C-alpha cells in the first residue's frame, strides 16, 4: 500500500529517478574510473530503482512512469533523430556504412536464431525482451526504450535486456579495441584499397563541423519541435489504429496504438533531419538525458524475481553477438573495408553513440565525429527493425502476439 512506501508522491518519485541518473554520472565523472568504460552507468541507473521499489522506497506504480512513456519517450526520439546526417556519414565512411548495415542484418538474424535456441528456458513473453535488446543493438538505448514501448515489454524482460546489453558490452568492447592489433593482416584479408584510410581522414576533416554553443531560443525551438511532433503523431496514430481495427483486426496486437505513435514520431523526426532543424545545437545531449531518466523509470517498475531467467537470456545474447560479428566480418570482406571501419561499424550498432567514439578514438581519432553519425544512422533504423526482430523471433517458435 502507498502508506508503506517511503516516497510515493509523483514529484518525489520523479526527483528520485532524476537523482539516481545524476548520481551515477557524478560518480563516473568524479572518479574517472576505467571501470565505467566497460560497465556504463546505464546498468546502475536501471538497477538502483529496481532495488528501491522492491524495498518500498518508491512504488511499483506511479503516474510518473506513464508520464515518462507519454512525454519523455517521444521527446527523446525526436531530439535524437533530428541530428541524423546520413550524407555526411556516407561521404566519410563510404562502404563502411554498408558494413554497419550488414551488422544490423546480423543483429536481426542473430536475434531470431538465438531466441529459437534458448526460448524453452524463458517466459513466453521473452521475445519482447529480445525485441528491446535488438533495439539497443541496432541503434542504442533510446531504441531499446522505444521498442519496449511498442512491444509492451514487461519491466522484468526489459531488465534482462539491460543486463545482457551491459554484460555483452564488457566482452565485446575489448574485442573491438583489440582488433586494431590485427589491422595489417585484416586489411590484407579484406583486400582494402591502399588509399582508403587517407581518403577517410581527408573527408572527415572537410565534412565535420563543430556544433555552435546553444542559446536560450534554441531550447525553445527544440521543445516546440518535440511537443508538436508528439501531438501530431499521437493524433494521427489514433485514426490509423482505429482504421486498422476495422480493416485488419488481426494486426491490432502487432501494430498497437503505441507502435503507430512511435513509428510516426520516428518518421516525422527523420524527415526533419534534412531541414535546418538539424542544425539546432544540444538536441542529442538533451535527448540522451531524457533517455536515462526513462530507463530509471523502467527499473522502478521491475521485480527482482524476474531476473531468474538471466542465465538463459545471457546465453542467447552471447550466441546473438557472435552472429552479428560474423556478419560484420562478411561485410568487411565483401565491401573491402578496413578493420578500423569494421570495428566502428559494429560499435555503432552494439554500443551506439556511447561506445562508437571510444572505439574510433582507439583505432583512428580522426573518425571520432563520424562514429557518432554512424551510431545515429542505427538510431534511425532501430525503431523500425527492432520490433520486427522481436516479432520474427516470436513467429519462429510459434508464439502468439
Distance CA 60, CA 245 (A): 32
Find the Cα–Cα–Cα–Cα dihedral 134, 137, 138, 141, rounded to 10°: 90
Between 343 and 85, whose confidence is greater?
343
Distance CA 192, CA 195 (A): 9
Q: Is 188 exposed, middle or buried (0-12, 13-18, 19+ CB in 10 A)?
A: exposed
Q: Is 37 exposed, middle or buried (0-12, 13-18, 19+ CB in 10 A)?
A: middle
- pLDDT band with cut points at 50, 70 and 90 for residue 4: confident
64 neighbors 297 (Cβ within 8 angstroms): yes
Q: Is 126 exposed, middle or buried (0-12, 13-18, 19+ CB in 10 A)?
A: buried
* Mean pLDDT, all residues of the chain: 92
Please determine, for residue 1, whether its predicted confidence score (pLDDT) is greater than 60: no
Provide the whole-model pTM. Answer: 0.91
293 neighbors 72 (Cβ within 8 angstroms): yes
**Percentage of the chain modeled with pLDDT above 70:** 98
3-state secondary structure string across the chain: CHHHCCCCCHHHHHHHHHHHHHHHHHHHHHHCCCHHHHCCHHHHHHHHHHHHHHCCCCCCCCHHHHHHHHHHHHHHHHHHHCCCCHHHHHHHHCCHHHHHHHHHHHHHHHHHHHHHHHHHHCCCCHHHHHHHHHHHHHCCHHHHHHHHHHHCCCHHHHHHHHHHHHHHHHHHHHHHHHHHHHHHHHHHHCCCCCCHHHHHHHHHHHHCCCCCCCCHHHHHHHHHHHHHHHHHHHHHHHHHHHHHHHHCHHHCCCCCHHHHHHHHHHHHHHHHCCCHHHHCCCHHHHHHHHHHHHHHHHHCCCCHHHHHHHHHHHHHHHHHHHHHHHHHHHHHHHHCCCHHHHHHHHHHHHCHHHHHHHHHHHHCHHHHHHHHHHHHHHHHHHHHHHHHHHHHHHHHCCCCC
The reported pLDDT for the residue numbered 401 is 84
Cell 519517450, residue? 73
C-alpha cell at 99: 558494413
- pLDDT band with cut points at 50, 70 and 90 for residue 198: confident
Mean pLDDT, rounded, for 289-295:
93
The reported pLDDT for the residue numbered 304 is 76
**Percentage of the chain modeled with pLDDT above 90:** 74
**pLDDT one-digit tens code per residue, 146-156:** 999 999 999 88
Please determine, for residue 93, whether its predicted confidence score (pLDDT) is greater than 90: no
Nearest to 163 by CA among 270, 317, 36: 317
Angle between helix axes 257-272 and 73-81 (nearest 10 degrees) is 30
Amino acid at each position: 500500500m502507498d502508506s508503506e512506501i517511503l516516497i510515493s508522491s509523483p514529484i518525489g518519485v520523479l526527483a528520485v529517478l532524476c537523482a539516481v541518473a545524476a548520481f551515477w554520472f557524478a560518480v563516473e565523472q568524479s572518479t574517472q574510473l576505467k571501470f565505467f568504460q566497460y560497465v556504463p552507468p546505464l546498468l546502475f541507473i536501471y538497477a538502483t530503482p529496481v532495488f528501491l521499489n522492491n524495498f518500498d522506497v518508491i512504488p511499483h506504480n506511479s503516474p510518473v512512469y506513464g508520464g515518462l512513456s507519454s512525454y519523455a519517450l517521444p521527446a527523446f526520439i525526436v531530439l535524437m533523430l533530428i541530428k541524423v546526417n546520413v550524407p555526411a556519414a556516407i561521404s566519410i565512411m563510404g562502404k563502411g556504412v554498408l558494413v554497419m548495415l550488414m551488422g544490423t542484418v546480423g543483429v536481426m538474424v542473430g536475434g531470431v536464431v538465438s531466441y529459437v535456441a534458448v526460448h524453452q528456458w524463458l517466459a513466453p513473453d521473452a521475445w519482447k525482451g529480445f525485441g528491446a535488446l535488438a533495439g539497443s543493438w541496432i541503434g542504442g538505448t533510446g531504441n531499446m526504450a522505444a521498442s519496449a514501448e511498442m512491444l509492451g515489454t514487461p519491466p522484468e524482460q526489459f531488465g534482462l535486456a539491460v543486463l545482457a546489453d551491459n554484460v555483452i558490452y564488457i566482452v565485446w568492447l575489448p574485442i573491438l579495441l583489440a582488433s586494431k592489433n590485427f589491422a595489417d593482416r585484416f586489411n590484407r584479408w579484406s583486400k582494402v584499397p591502399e588509399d582508403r584510410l587517407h581518403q577517410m581522414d581527408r573527408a572527415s576533416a572537410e565534412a565535420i563541423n563543430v556544433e555552435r554553443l546553444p542559446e536560450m531560443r534554441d531550447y525553445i525551438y527544440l521543445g516546440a519541435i518535440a511537443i508538436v511532433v508528439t501531438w501530431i503523431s499521437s493524433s494521427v496514430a489514433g485514426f490509423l489504429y482505429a482504421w486498422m481495427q476495422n480493416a485488419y483486426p488481426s494486426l491490432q496486437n502487432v501494430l498497437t496504438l503505441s507502435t503507430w505513435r512511435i513509428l510516426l514520431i520516428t518518421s516525422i523526426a527523420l524527415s526533419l533531419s534534412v531541414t535546418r532543424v538539424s542544425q539546432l545545437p544540444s538536441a542529442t545531449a538533451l535527448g540522451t538525458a531524457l533517455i536515462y531518466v526513462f530507463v530509471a523509470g523502467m527499473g522502478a517498475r521491475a521485480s527482482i524475481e524476474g531476473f531468474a531467467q538471466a542465465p538463459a537470456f545471457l546465453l542467447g545474447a552471447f550466441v546473438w553477438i557472435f552472429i552479428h560479428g560474423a556478419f560484420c566480418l562478411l561485410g568487411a570482406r565483401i565491401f573491402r573495408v578496413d578493420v578500423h571501419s569494421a570495428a566502428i561499424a559494429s560499435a555503432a550498432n552494439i554500443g551506439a553513440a556511447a561506445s562508437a567514439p571510444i572505439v574510433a578514438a582507439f583505432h583512428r581519432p580522426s573518425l571520432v565525429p563520424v562514429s557518432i553519425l554512424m551510431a545515429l544512422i542505427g538510431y534511425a533504423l532501430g525503431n523500425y527493425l527492432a520490433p520486427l526482430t522481436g516479432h520474427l523471433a516470436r513467429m519462429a517458435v510459434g508464439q502468439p502476439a
